[in-house]
């Protein structure tokens, strides 16, 4: 009996091992979960990155984040405001339906519906029109150079499936309508959703009929969100996970030293900067002239910050200090703009004295404590450095849930901002959201009321400039003005750190997307 | 009797109304859902439009009135975060929390009662002192520390038990259970112990003090004088009488275990209602928060009402007084 059992067991084991030689499963975890399977019902970049495994856009980001053909094979401007896309043939959705121009038109109609939460992602698109079964025209509001960047985030859904499941229109909280698309995802992408259980896990299986040649060797992805950092690290070390993204900074050394595990790091696109109050008065000194209106004071504040110390002590040498408002891979970045005003306490004091504040002044510093990497510690260090230079910074930190609404209402003097230029991944995003005044749809996050005539003009020109070199030159010039004028004080580029088992090979991208269609398991 | 029941129900309804009102006022201070829902690049107009479509531009009184009307008609609304009906979200998470609470309650009774008896019978013995000392640690260590330590020992170092999640679950209709698979049962052990620890020490100490009291009463002394077997005296006569308050406390504690499983669920990524609530708080998902607080309020009201009614059934004096 025992022998028989042992024999059966060894056969079973053999079968299992035989199976594992072919079946490559990747189990991974992140602190957040997929919000919804409906790509048009959310605005979170994490969910967008997860759904990219299931859906394809017309154009996508490749290995070096360049835009490349996906469901569209080629495109051209037929008119300044009309782009013609030729679609890929012989592509099938996961349910077997063929992909045609009708799917593209229906998807755009759904995303442009007033109920679609993500419709702001294509705010410059008017409509999609079918030319023939494999040709589509996309009409923009005037000439719009960033259309392809926007399209990289627009996933195409199956029209027939949407019709059959009453999902042609997106769900709407206000009217209480929910759709089957929240819990079912039928795309054309490299993986199919096998099961979706919020907070427990989402399983994907490979799509053998994917139109592209796979660069991965996975047959299955098991995604299990784990909110607690300590638990996530423990689960990696105990062998229950193959990859965690992100890995907490304080645990990187420990994971790197553990045999069989490695840490993968890269600077992310997200830049951390300080927003300055440009209103007539500071909240900290009501009734007096706002000292921040003087460029010398702003320069003094920058000179008073010792970024090297923050990098070493707070960011554990993982961040990259920056002097400009966009990260190097982003269009609009220029090396000559990326100069940090060096730490110089004496110069800071001299500038303050020149500006008429020899004894400094009082200012409020507000920071979130759960949004950016080590945000609170960074601000504690900043407050101490400014105090040394004679500027009394009154620090207050709070949760993101209350911090951002207050920032939007302009309740702060100096406050922390993080900007990753996502999803378009273009310097125009910084100009149009942070550096322009709040009018005509510009300045959506510019609650500091910063305004500069040259930047206003350059931003509006760049918005409709289709000639790429000219457009980039405009971005670079505008960002130079912002740098020289100290519109914001740039601090550092956030680090991006993942941890994985040694047998996992997965490329990292500065936009923090996890793209497992490039992952291999040895 | 009927009168008692009626007045109890009236009070229960009033409590629920107060709970809903207080929680609604609190939502004003947890943050602005629009800031977490809108795109990072969103323009001011876009955010304003979203605010209006959610009805958040209305006065707090109007919003509360609308919420009450909707809730009374049985509609708990739609989650801001994942745009699914809140009732559905809670129904999905209920089994996970309930099973965890069942395991924790079982553990705390199965270990707490014998240990309490042990401490009562030999209050000066070495074992009793050791158990007492350990129970002090149990009652004073925060749940998240206990959880992480258990994970490090049993998942990372020994590799015996999983560090997070529910393992394989089996769906029985709408109820998903982890009791029917080996990995499901293994997953229940660590979070079960973590959640049970406080409860366990509480029950142990309660049993101990009740037992000591009962053991010094006249009828026990009389039973001893009659020469009844010690086992019979301890377990049949003394323990039974000592257990009365334990039953009441356990009943009431089940309510708080469900409500306060939040920390344990976060540490172990247990997909229950506590985790749902924590995520709702960080996203300012008002419909989910409101539904959760109402649910917990209702739970306490029901348990307390049952206990009160039972008291009235048991004790005729209470009935006479309220009548």
pTM: 0.86
User: Which residue in the set A234, A240, A405 is minimally distant from B31, CB to CB?
Assistant: A405
Higher pLDDT, B221 or A205: A205
Distance CA(A191)–CA(B244), nearest Å, equals 58
Residues 6 or more apart whose Cβ sits within 8 Å of residue B86: B76, B77, B78, B79, B287, B288, B291
Q: What is the pLDDT of residue A14?
A: 41
Distance from CA of B161 to the nearest CA of A (A): 10
Q: What is the pLDDT of residue B83?
A: 83
Strand extents, DSSP E, A39-119: 59-61, 67-69, 72-79, 82-87
User: Is residue B251 packed enough to be buried (19+ CB in 10 Å), middle (13-18) or exposed (0-12)?
Assistant: middle
Q: What is the pLDDT of residue B314?
A: 64
Instruction: Return the exposure string of B172-208: e unless at least 16 CB atoms fall within 10 Å of the residue's CB, then b.
Output: eeeebbbeeeeebebbbbbbbbbbbbbbbbbbbbbbb
Q: How many residues does chain B have?
A: 323
Tell me: the pLDDT tens digits for B258-294? 877 899 999 999 999 999 998 888 888 888 998 998 8
Which of A37, A199, A203 to mutate against chain B (most B CBs within 10 Å)? A199
Distance from CA of B171 to the nearest CA of A (A): 13
- Put simply, the answer to whether A234 touches B41 (Cβ < 8 Å) is no
Range in A49-58, A73-82, A488-497, B23-32 the model is least confident about: B23-32
Is the pLDDT score of A189 beyond 90? yes
Residues 6 or more apart whose Cβ sits within 8 Å of residue A410: A277, A279, A447, A448, A449
Residue with tokens 């195409």: A156
Calculate the CA B212 to chain-centre distance.
29
Could you give the C-alpha distances from B148 to A498, B100, B275, in angstroms and in order?
Answer: 21, 17, 17
Residue with tokens 């976060």: B266
Specify whether the backbone of A139 is left (phi greater than 0), alpha (psi in -120 to 50) or beta: beta
Tell me: the pLDDT tens digits for B126-173? 888 888 888 888 788 888 899 999 999 999 999 999 999 999 899 888
CA atoms within 13 A on the CB side of B259: 16
Q: What is the pLDDT of residue A6?
A: 46
Looking at the complex, does the CB of residue A240 fall below 8 Å from at least one CB of chain B? yes
Distance from CA of B39 to the nearest CA of A (A): 5
Return the residue of B nearest to A436 by Cα: B43
Q: Are B112 and B200 a contacting pair, CB within 8 Å? A: yes
3-state secondary structure chain B: CHHHHHHHHHHHHHHHHHHHHHHHHHHHHHCCHHHHHCCCCCCHHHHHHHHHHCCCCCCHHHHHHHHHHHHHCCCCCECCCCCCEHHHHHHHHHHHHHHHHHHHHHHHHHHHHHHHHHHHHCCCCHHHHHHHHHHHHHHHCCHHHHHHHHHHHHHHHCCCCCCCCCCCCEEECCEEECCCCHHHHHHHHHHHHHHHHHHHHHHHHHHHHHHHHHHCCHHHHHHHHCCCCHHHHHHHHHHHHHHHHHHHHHHHHHHHHHHCCHHHHHHCCCCCHHHHHHHHHHHCCHHHHHHHHHHHHHHHHHHHHHHHHHHHHHCHHHHHHHC
Distance CA(B313)–CA(B305), nearest Å, equals 12
Q: How many residues does chain A have?
A: 522
Specify whether the backbone of A398 is left (phi greater than 0), alpha (psi in -120 to 50) or beta: beta
What is the share, in percent, of chain A residues with pLDDT greater than 90? 83
User: Which residue in the set B45, B54, B77 is minimally distant from A441, CB to CB?
Assistant: B45
User: Which residue in the set B78, B144, B267 is minimally distant from A178, CB to CB?
Assistant: B78
Tell me: the pLDDT tens digits for A466-479? 999 999 999 999 99
Query: Between chain A and chain B, how many beta carbons pairs sit less than 8 Å apart?
Result: 166
Is the pLDDT score of A78 beyond 60? yes
Strand extents, DSSP E, A122-223: 125-132, 135-140, 191-197, 201-206, 220-223
Q: What is the pLDDT of residue B319?
A: 62
Q: Write out chain B residues lying below 8 Å of A402, CB-based.
A: 29-32
Return the residue of B nearest to A47 by Cα: B82
Tell me: the pLDDT tens digits for A23-38? 899 999 999 899 889 9
- Put simply, the answer to whether B43 touches A444 (Cβ < 8 Å) is yes
Q: Are A30 and A231 a contacting pair, CB within 8 Å? A: no
Return the residue of B nearest to A431 by Cα: B41
User: Is residue A154 packed enough to be buried (19+ CB in 10 Å), middle (13-18) or exposed (0-12)?
Assistant: buried
Q: What is the pLDDT of residue B318?
A: 61
Distance CA(A310)–CA(B52), nearest Å, equals 42
Q: Write out chain A residues lying below 8 Å of B37, CB-based.
A: 43, 117
Is the pLDDT score of A8 beyond 70? no
Q: Write out chain A residues lying below 8 Å of B29, CB-based.
A: 402
Q: What is the pLDDT of residue B317?
A: 65
Can you read off the two tokens belonging to residue B226? 């009659």
Tell me: the pLDDT tens digits for A264-314? 999 999 999 999 999 999 999 999 999 999 999 999 999 999 999 999 999
Residue B31: pLDDT band with limits 50, 70, 90: confident
Distance CA(A492)–CA(A312), nearest Å, equals 12
ipTM comes to 0.84
Mean pLDDT for the stretch of residues B3-15: 83
Instruction: Return the exposure string of A362-378: e unless at least 16 CB atoms fall within 10 Å of the residue's CB, then b.
Output: ebbbbbbbebbbbbbbb
Q: What is the pLDDT of residue B316?
A: 64
- Put simply, the answer to whether A182 touches B83 (Cβ < 8 Å) is yes
Residues 464-493 of A with CB under 8 A from B: none
Q: What is the pLDDT of residue B1?
A: 64
Handedness of CA A375, A376, A378, A379 (dihedral sign): positive
Tell me: the pLDDT tens digits for B189-217? 999 999 998 888 888 989 888 888 888 88
For A257-260, the CB contacts below 8 A with 24+ separation are A260/A501, A260/A502
Tell me: the pLDDT tens digits for B66-124? 888 888 888 888 888 878 889 889 999 999 999 999 999 999 999 999 998 888 888 78
User: Which residue in the set B30, B45, B78 is minimally distant from A173, CB to CB?
Assistant: B78
Q: What is the pLDDT of residue B257?
A: 87
Distance CA(A127)–CA(A477), nearest Å, equals 33
Residues 165-194 of A with CB under 8 A from B: 171-174, 176, 178, 182-183
Q: What is the pLDDT of residue A252?
A: 92
Listed by start position, the domains of chain B span 1-81+283-323, 86-272
Q: Write out chain A residues lying below 8 Å of B73, CB-based.
A: none
Looking at the complex, does the CB of residue A227 fall below 8 Å from at least one CB of chain B? yes
Could you give the C-alpha distances from B304 to B225, B254, B308, in angstroms and in order?
Answer: 41, 11, 6
Higher pLDDT, A154 or B39: A154
Q: What is the pLDDT of residue A150?
A: 94
Could you give the C-alpha distances from A242 to A66, A137, A366, A406, A506, in angstroms and in order?
Answer: 28, 43, 38, 39, 11
Domain spanning B86-272: which CATH class is it, in words? mainly alpha
Can you read off the two tokens belonging to residue A199? 């907070």
Is the pLDDT score of A72 beyond 90? yes
Mean pLDDT for the stretch of residues A187-211: 95
């Amino acid at each position: 009996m025992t022998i028989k059992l042992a024999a059966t067991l060894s056969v079973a084991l053999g079968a299992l091992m035989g199976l594992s030689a072919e079946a490559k499963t990747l189990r991974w975890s992140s602190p957040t979960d997929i919000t919804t399977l409906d790509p048009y019902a959310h605005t979170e970049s994490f969910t967008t990155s997860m759904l990219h495994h299931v859906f394809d856009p017309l154009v996508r980001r490749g290995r070096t984040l360049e835009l490349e053909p996906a469901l569209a094979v080629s495109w051209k401007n037929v008119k300044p405001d009309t782009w013609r896309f030729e679609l890929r043939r012989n592509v099938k959705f996961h349910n077997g339906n063929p992909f045609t121009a009708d799917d593209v038109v229906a998807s755009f109609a759904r995303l442009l519906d007033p109920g679609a939460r993500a419709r702001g992602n294509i705010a410059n698109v008017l409509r999609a029109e079918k030319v023939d079964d494999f040709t589509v025209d996309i009409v923009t509001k005037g000439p719009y150079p960033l259309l392809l960047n926007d399209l990289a985030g627009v996933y195409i859904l199956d029209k027939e499936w949407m019709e059959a499941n009453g999902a042609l229109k997106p769900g709407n909280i206000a009217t209480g309508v929910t759709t089957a698309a929240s819990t079912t995802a039928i795309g054309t992408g490299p993986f199919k959703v096998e099961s979706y259980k919020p907070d427990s896990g989402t399983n994907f299986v490979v799509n053998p009929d994917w139109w592209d040649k796979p660069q991965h060797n996975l047959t299955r992805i098991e995604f299990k969100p784990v909110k607690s950092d300590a638990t996530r690290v423990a689960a990696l070390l105990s062998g229950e996970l193959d990859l965690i993204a992100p890995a907490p900074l304080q645990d990187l050394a420990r994971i790197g030293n553990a045999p069989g595990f490695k840490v993968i790091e890269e600077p992310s696109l997200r830049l951390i900067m300080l927003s300055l109050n440009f209103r007539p008065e500071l909240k900290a000194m009501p009734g007096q002239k706002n000292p921040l209106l003087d460029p010398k004071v702003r320069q003094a504040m920058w000179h008073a910050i010792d970024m090297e110390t923050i990098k070493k002590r707070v960011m554990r040498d993982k961040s990259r200090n920056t002097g400009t408002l966009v990260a190097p891979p982003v269009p609009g970045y220029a090396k000559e703009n990326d100069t940090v005003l060096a730490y110089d306490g004496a110069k800071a004091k001299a500038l303050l004295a020149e500006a008429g504040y020899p004894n400094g002044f009082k200012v409020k510093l507000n920071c979130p404590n759960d949004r950016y990497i080590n945000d609170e510690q960074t601000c504690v260090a900043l407050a101490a450095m400014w105090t040394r230079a004679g500027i009394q910074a009154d620090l207050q930190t709070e949760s993101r849930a209350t911090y951002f609404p207050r920032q939007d209402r302009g309740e702060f003097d100096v406050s922390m901002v993080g900007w990753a230029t996502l999803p378009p991944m273009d310097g125009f995003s910084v100009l149009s959201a942070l550096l322009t005044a709040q009018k005509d749809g510009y300045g959506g996050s510019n609650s500091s009321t910063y305004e500069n005539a040259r930047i206003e003009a350059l931003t509006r020109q760049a918005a409709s400039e289709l000639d790429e070199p000219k457009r980039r030159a405009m971005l670079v010039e505008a960002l130079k003005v912002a740098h020289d004028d100290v519109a914001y004080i740039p601090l550092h580029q956030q680090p991006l750190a993942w941890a994985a088992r040694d047998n996992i090979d997965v490329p990292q991208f500065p936009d923090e997307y996890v793209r497992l269609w490039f992952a291999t398991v040895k | 009797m009927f009168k008692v029941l009626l007045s109890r129900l009236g009070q229960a309804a009033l409590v629920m109304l107060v709970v809903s009102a207080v929680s609604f006022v609190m939502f004003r201070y947890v943050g602005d859902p629009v800031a977490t829902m809108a795109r990072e690049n969103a323009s001011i107009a876009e955010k304003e439009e979203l605010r209006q479509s959610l009805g958040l531009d209305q006065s707090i009184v109007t919003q509360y009135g609308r919420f009450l009307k909707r809730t009374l008609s049985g509609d708990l609304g739609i989650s801001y975060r994942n745009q699914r009906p809140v009732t559905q979200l809670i129904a999905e998470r209920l089994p996970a929390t309930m099973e965890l609470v069942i395991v924790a309650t079982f553990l705390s009774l199965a270990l707490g009662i014998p240990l309490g008896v042990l401490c009562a019978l030999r209050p000066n013995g070495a074992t009793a002192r050791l158990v007492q000392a350990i129970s002090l640690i149990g009652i004073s260590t925060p749940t998240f520390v206990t959880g992480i330590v258990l994970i490090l020992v049993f998942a990372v170092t020994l590799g015996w038990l999983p560090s997070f999640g529910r393992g394989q679950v089996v769906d029985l209709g709408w109820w998903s259970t982890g009791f029917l698979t080996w990995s499901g049962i293994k997953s229940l052990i660590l979070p079960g112990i973590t959640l049970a620890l406080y409860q366990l020490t509480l029950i142990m100490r309660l049993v101990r003090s009740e037992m000591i009291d009962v053991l010094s009463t006249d009828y026990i002394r009389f039973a001893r004088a009659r020469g009844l077997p010690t086992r019979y005296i301890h377990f049949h006569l003394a323990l039974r009488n000592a257990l009365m308050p334990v039953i009441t406390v356990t009943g009431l504690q089940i309510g708080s275990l469900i409500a306060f499983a939040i920390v344990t669920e976060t540490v172990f990524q247990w997909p229950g209602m506590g985790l749902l609530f924590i995520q709702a708080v960080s996203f300012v998902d008002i419909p989910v928060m409101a539904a959760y607080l109402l649910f917990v309020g209702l739970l306490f009201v029901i348990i307390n009402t049952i206990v009160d009614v039972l008291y009235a059934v048991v004790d005729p004096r209470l009935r006479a007084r309220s009548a």
